Amino acid sequence: MRYVMVEHAGREVPGVLSGDTVSLLTATDLTEVIESGASLSGEQIPYHEGMLRAPLRRFRRDILCTGWNYWDHFEESKGKREGQDVDRPEHPTFFTKGPDVVIGPYDDIAWDPEISAKWDYEAEVALVIGRTGKNIPVERALDHVWGYLLANDVSQRDLQRAHGGQWLKGKSIDDTMPLGPWLVTADELGDPQDIHLQCLVNGEVRQDASTKQMAYDVATLISELSFGMTLRPGDLLLTGTPAGIGNAREPQVFLQEGDEVITRADKLGSLRNRVTRVDPVNYVTRG
């Protein structure tokens, strides 16, 4: 099944997409569906692409991410990490990014050259945890996956380098990570190690890989991440990006105002986002 968040009657509501119809659910959002389940409301509405919103917005923790999970990506960046190179890791590399990065599948990527001069793209397969677990064995790890979707971990390379090489700051700029277009349930997707993933910028294929090329497969990621650490329903995990990033190219190429970025996979649909300049804001208070 494909679960969606759609704009309807002035609010965002969850539903199930089937063909050209969305069957609305009684839940508040897909996080509630994942945590507690939901029933159909009985209302069906016609589907059109423009109604889709980010499948997930409400998180109990920061977004969980995997770095260097395709060896070709790890190798392509050697010597280009500005003195922050490391040896090939013997275990998966994890980091987090703030939840305010999330935008919808067709929303604009908020680009501000005053924040960074090195905006980069990173197409990724993401997954959502559906069952609570800690110290999950590899052979049972996929049982804890509720569904899969696409993400683009848009990154600011100069911020990564400026803050000691850690990745939180250089990957947590507001309104920069497209997510969606829908959540495909684990049973419908099947083998997560058989997904063809691509990123295109202005029609040019920049990244083109299969999840078969992952350094650590999805089950291993979940098992390692849950070692001593509880994973809960609704937790979002990005599984890493393949080779082809702008920072590793010769010459380097970074996202610019007006660029169209498409993230697509054969089993998960596609994201289509425009890099759009936003007015710099010196100080914002919320709440």
Q: Summarize pLDDT for 98-136 with one digit per residue, the tens.
A: 999 999 999 999 999 999 999 999 999 999 999 999 999
Q: What is the mean pLDDT of residues 246-264?
A: 97
pLDDT at 286: 66
Given a cut of 80, whether residue 179 has pLDDT beyond it is: yes
pLDDT at 280: 80
pLDDT at 188: 98
Q: What is the mean pLDDT of residues 13-42?
A: 97
Give the integer Cα–Cα distance in Å for 177 and 16.
23
pLDDT tier at 80, thresholds 50, 70, 90:
low
Give the integer Cα–Cα distance in Å for 22 and 45.
5
Q: What is the mean pLDDT of residues 182-203?
A: 98
The closest of 157, 287, 266 to 212, measured between CA atoms, is: 266
Given a cut of 80, whether residue 70 has pLDDT beyond it is: yes
Given a cut of 90, whether residue 166 has pLDDT beyond it is: no
C-alpha distances in angstroms, 57 versus 87, 102, 112? 35, 7, 23
pLDDT tier at 79, thresholds 50, 70, 90:
low
Q: What is the mean pLDDT of residues 10-24?
A: 97
Q: What is the mean pLDDT of residues 41-60?
A: 97
Given a cut of 90, whether residue 77 has pLDDT beyond it is: no
Q: What is the mean pLDDT of residues 153-166?
A: 89
pLDDT tier at 23, thresholds 50, 70, 90:
very high
Burial track 204-233 (b if 16+ CB lie within 10 A, e otherwise): eebbebebebbbbbbbbbbbbbbeeeebbb
Give the integer Cα–Cα distance in Å for 79 and 94.
21
Q: What percentage of residues in the chain have a pLDDT greater than 70?
A: 97
Q: What percentage of residues in the chain have a pLDDT greater than 90?
A: 88
Domains in the chain, please, with CATH? Answer: 2-53 (2.30.30), 63-277 (3.90.850.10)
Given a cut of 70, whether residue 56 has pLDDT beyond it is: yes
The helix or strand, by DSSP H or E, that contains position 221, with its residue range, turns out to be helix 218-225
Q: What is the mean pLDDT of residues 75-79?
A: 79
Using left for φ > 0, alpha for ψ between -120 and 50, and beta otherwise, residue 71 falls in alpha
> What pTM did the predictor assign?
0.96
pLDDT at 257: 98
pLDDT at 165: 76
